[in-house]
Amino acid sequence: MATGSMDQALYKVMEQLVNSADGIKRAVRATNDGYPALAGVDELLRRELGSEYERANNGTWWAGFAVAQVMREMGYVEAGTGKCPDGCVAGKGIVWKPKAAAKPVIA
């Protein structure tokens, strides 16, 4: 059970990190490697937020929420959940795939 909740200012910083060029690049790289996109930004969030990024304050949930918004905006769709690599604060996250291209209509 969560021992506390993340304050709004901390979430805003987290959101900025996830939406940064580095955050987006990391999320896409993790996706391309078959991991949850959250796994890609996990290291960035740990480095920048330290102990403020943790499961106990719902940090991983909020990070996953921010990452999901970015992935959807880039045209990715959910493809299930997956385990994050060892060393991540997040234990699991959403796995994404590019939205399938529309098939041409053959008349």
Q: Is position 37 within any domain? A: yes
Number of domains into which the chain is organized:
1
Q: Is position 1 within any domain? A: no
Residue-range definition of the domain harbouring residue 32: 8-98
Q: What is the pTM of this model?
A: 0.84
pLDDT tens across 23-40, in order?
999 999 999 999 999 999
Nearest Cα residue to 44 out of 99, 78, 89, 11: 89
Q: Is position 45 within any domain? A: yes
Q: Is position 2 within any domain? A: no
Instruction: Evaluate if residue 1 carries a pLDDT over 60.
Output: no
pLDDT tens across 64-105, in order?
999 999 999 999 999 999 999 999 999 999 999 998 755 556
For residue 54, the 8-state DSSP code is: S
